[in-house]
Structure 1
Amino acid sequence: MTSIEHPDGRFKPMLITDDNHGATLPRCVQANPGQSIHALEQSVRDSLDASLRTVGGVLFRGFTVATPIDFKRFAASFGAPLASYEFGSTPRSKVFAGVYSSTEYPAHQFIPLHNEQAYTRPWPSRIWFHCIKASETGGETPICDSRLIYQRMPAEIREQFASRELLYVRNYSGALDLPWQKVFNTQDRAQVERYCQDNGIEWEWKADGDLRTRQRCPAVLQHPDTGEWVWFNQAHLFHVSAIEPAVRASLLAAVGEENLPRHVYFGDGSAIPDALLDRVRAVYEQTAVSFPWQAGDILMLDNRLVAHGRNPYTGDRKVIVAMA
């Protein structure tokens, strides 16, 4: 990893690899020796909104972050209340109110790049990651610019997704994925129904007591502050083609397409071809940048402008997350 000095002496665009097309994501704020994360110069704090609007992400490196509570205080200091993880699609553990573990998938698995909760309508505008312990190998959180994804997406795919939108279908079951009680943080069916009604989600209680939901969402967004168009969906992650072929075949044989834990269609319910989503994934791969975590790092992202993922790793790794 190399860096280039910025004229103000504080922000440094980090060139993560030699072949990442000159990306300046994330922008790095380097601490002075022994500097607490709560002791950022006011001029730096005043510059952060502009950095998020332009670059999309800021990495705070070398600062003292003594405890997870310090991380929470820092994330909360930007004014927006920290969010609970409602209607989540992956397993996380609550550290305490407003702070969660990163997605708890096995270490050997790759988590594709995605914008947080882009499969639904209420989603966080900002997200923070804090590395408490870096893994021995791998474990990076690759990121990519959602504007660049939009721009590089083949025009016929971009136009098709924008005009047809997406329909996300989820089946909640403790046997295959997350039970509805964990996803909605309640045992009360009426509370689940109120949440769905408030957020434009269709729901259906199945004969076995499990839940199925459907929600139509846009595939692209216009950023409210900059007016720029961004690629903002999780079609490539929810689609059954994201599952390893042998696992996909056995899962379909066991439960059928209608009962898959998650799947996605075009907004009218028609199928999305596997090959089309392979082309989408290729754009993500070509656009991603990555950097090795260091213990104490905090990465702050505009969730609309920047997607994130996780590389496989070995050894212990602890990264926690806050959203607002």
Structure 2
Amino acid sequence: VRFLRKHKQSIRMAILRAAALAMILCSTGVAAFMTSPTGIPLRQTARLTGSARRAPIYSRRLGRISMVDPSEQAERAGISFGRRTAVLDRDQDVGIGQDEERKAAEKLMQHCPLTEWGPELDILAEKKKMASMDLPVFPYELVKDPSVVGEAAEEAYFIQNKAEINKRLRDHGCVVLRGFETTKQPGGFEHMWKTLGFEACLDPLHTVAGRPVVSGKNAIYEAVNKPSRAKFFVGMHNEMVGKRTVRKAAFVCFQAADKGGEFLVCDGHRMLRDLDDDFLERLYSRKIRFSSAQLPMGFMDSTGPLQPLLEPAVKALLGAIVDFKVDFDVEMFWNRVDGQRVIQAHAPPQPPVIRHPETGLATWFCNIHSHSAKLRDERDGVLPETTGSSQLNKSDVFYGDGAVIEDADLRHLDAVTRKNTIKLAMKPGDVVFVDNYRAMHGRETFEGPRKHAVTWFK
């Protein structure tokens, strides 16, 4: 009792700060703290000055409670975002002005399917089999015939070639459609993929408002266009969050960037074929796990002898909040980074190669290239601005047991990925269909306005 009385102020402050951090997680839908499959922040932070936006805090029982500045919340939690010079497009921000679009999307679509990890593989036998195959061209491109003119003619073309396009996607893993007019607008784009027989599903990150909805009624999401992310190279990745994975996707260009912004695709079969045997066997046997968030908890060091008692409670509180808010598995771990106490959120271990649920062929299915902090830092260098959220979105990748993947192995993976990555310059109306279990996708850096979008399929 004397001990508790002596340290009651420290206990109170630790609980208040942890609760404030939990409130931030709730009010931002956890998106400010979690990374997307791209490995870059889900949410960027606007200039945190007098004009900072205010975010509502919700309670299941009480509904809307108050409007509180996220930077004020952060300061109360002991997190100093500081002043930011990045002025972002508010209309494109995740969750800002998105309520109606998200409601429309939820009425139209169901959640994307659960991830199919499949059975254990004899990884070297599968690699040998892939090396013996005559792999088809990747990607397969279809350019509209000049004789196909007008909306009716284009619809007839898609009806006539429905089976062919679906077969090409199954065989090649990626199909590019070029030269069509109807796909230059959201409604025409939607009509095209419906004509081809695809069924849309919600974004894997829809539950945490992780991606802006371009048009809820047309089932279209934004494809990483915001100016704040223009200088980030989006590494090669499959669209998955561990628990849920889309089967296929259609990426469309409504407006090309002034410079750069090319869409990137990479064949998982060629990745499996070209990776070094020893590295592949080691990675497959040990599995991998991703770190998707890092929450600064330096205030815990001021709690003195109470720290060992408080840390389990704080971790449990934050873990419960994350479990409540997100639709994917996350494990919370205490760690110390650069001398500061932090809580890291890790995904469960997963294999880097799986058996394709439709074709039965083994394929590389892993987001190391996008999530590795080492590779990301080497690609991006020192960017001119670090947003508040990016201080929290410390994505990285490790072996399944938490051990570090050696730099030489990461460079080898990067070299094989770059060797097999195809750069696609897209014009308005161009569409890229991707078999998400078979092919990875990414995006080059860009300058100027860029309006690309995506629809996910079951």
Q: TM-score range by the shorter chain?
A: 0.7 to 0.9
Could you tell me which of 282, 288, 296 is aligned with 1:166? 288
Kept after mapping to 2: 8 A contact 1:76/1:82: no
Kept after mapping to 2: 8 A contact 1:166/1:217: yes
- How far off its partner does 1:157 sit? 1.4
Distance 2:451 2:436 in 1: 21
Distance 1:129 1:53 in 2: 17
In terms of mean alpha carbon deviation, does 59-68 or 86-95 score higher? 86-95
Distance 1:265 1:205 in 2: 16
Kept after mapping to 2: 8 A contact 1:161/1:220: no
Structure 1's 281 and 57: CA in aligned 2 closer, same or farther, altered over 3 A? same
Distance 2:331 2:348 in 1: 6
Distance 1:281 1:43 in 2: 40
Could you tell me which of 162, 168, 193 is aligned with 1:51? 168
Task: Tell me which residue corresponds to 1:293.
Answer: 426
Could you tell me which of 142, 150, 157 is aligned with 1:34? 150
- How far off its partner does 1:141 sit? 0.6
In the alignment, does 2:423 pair up with 1:311? no
Task: Tell me which residue corresponds to 1:3.
Answer: none
Distance 1:92 1:41 in 2: 29
SS in 2 for 1:40: helix
Structure 1's 236 and 88: CA in aligned 2 closer, same or farther, altered over 3 A? farther
Query: In the TM superposition, what whole-angstrom CA distance separates every residue of 1:81-104 from its partner, at most 9, and x where no partner exists?
Result: 322241799963221333211124
Distance 2:439 2:453 in 1: 18
Kept after mapping to 2: 8 A contact 1:171/1:212: yes
- How far off its partner does 1:173 sit? 6.2
Kept after mapping to 2: 8 A contact 1:27/1:55: no
Equivalent runs, 1:173-184 vs 2, <5 Å: none
Query: In the TM superposition, what whole-angstrom CA distance separates every residue of 1:280-312 from its partner, at most 9, and x where no partner exists?
Result: 010011111223211111111101111111112
Structure 1's 66 and 145: CA in aligned 2 closer, same or farther, altered over 3 A? closer
Structure 1's 209 and 262: CA in aligned 2 closer, same or farther, altered over 3 A? closer
Task: Tell me which residue corresponds to 1:201.
Answer: 330
Paired residues in the alignment total 281
In the alignment, does 2:220 pair up with 1:99? yes
- How far off its partner does 1:230 sit? 1.0
Query: In the TM superposition, what whole-angstrom CA distance separates every residue of 1:239-268 from its partner, at most 9, and x where no partner exists?
Result: 2202326659xx9xxx99xx7621211111
Answer with 1 or 2: which has the greater Rg: 2
Query: In the TM superposition, what whole-angstrom CA distance separates every residue of 1:89-131 from its partner, at most 9, and x where no partner exists?
Result: 99632213332111245323322222222x5231111011110
Equivalent runs, 1:126-137 vs 2, <5 Å: 126-137=248-259
Percent sequence identity is 24
Task: Tell me which residue corresponds to 1:17.
Answer: none
Task: Tell me which residue corresponds to 1:61.
Answer: 178
Task: Tell me which residue corresponds to 1:111.
Answer: 234
Structure 1's 189 and 153: CA in aligned 2 closer, same or farther, altered over 3 A? closer
- Computed over aligned residues only, the root mean square deviation of the Cα atoms, in angstroms, reads 3.6
Kept after mapping to 2: 8 A contact 1:138/1:311: yes
Q: Supply the AA of the counterpart residue of 1:154.
A: D
SS in 2 for 1:143: strand
SS in 2 for 1:283: helix
SS in 2 for 1:244: helix
- How far off its partner does 1:158 sit? 1.4
Distance 2:436 2:206 in 1: 17
Structure 2 segments unaligned to the other structure (5+ residues): 1-134, 297-317, 336-340
SS in 2 for 1:27: strand
Task: Give the number of the structure whose residues are more often helix, by fraction.
Answer: 2
SS in 1 for 2:345: strand
Distance 1:80 1:301 in 2: 14
Kept after mapping to 2: 8 A contact 1:169/1:215: no
Task: Give the number of the structure whose residues are more often strand, by fraction.
Answer: 1
- How far off its partner does 1:161 sit? 1.7
Report 1 or 2 for greater relative contact order, CA contacts < 8 Å, sequence distance ≥ 6: 1
Kept after mapping to 2: 8 A contact 1:114/1:308: yes
Task: Tell me which residue corresponds to 2:366.
Answer: 233
Query: In the TM superposition, what whole-angstrom CA distance separates every residue of 1:166-208 from its partner, at most 9, and x where no partner exists?
Result: 111222669xxxxxxxxxxxxx986842576x744335799x9
Distance 1:65 1:202 in 2: 41
- How far off its partner does 1:33 sit? 2.4
SS in 1 for 2:161: helix
Kept after mapping to 1: 8 A contact 2:330/2:345: no
Distance 1:27 1:310 in 2: 19
Structure 1's 149 and 66: CA in aligned 2 closer, same or farther, altered over 3 A? closer
Kept after mapping to 2: 8 A contact 1:27/1:51: no
Structure 1 segments unaligned to the other structure (5+ residues): 1-20, 175-187
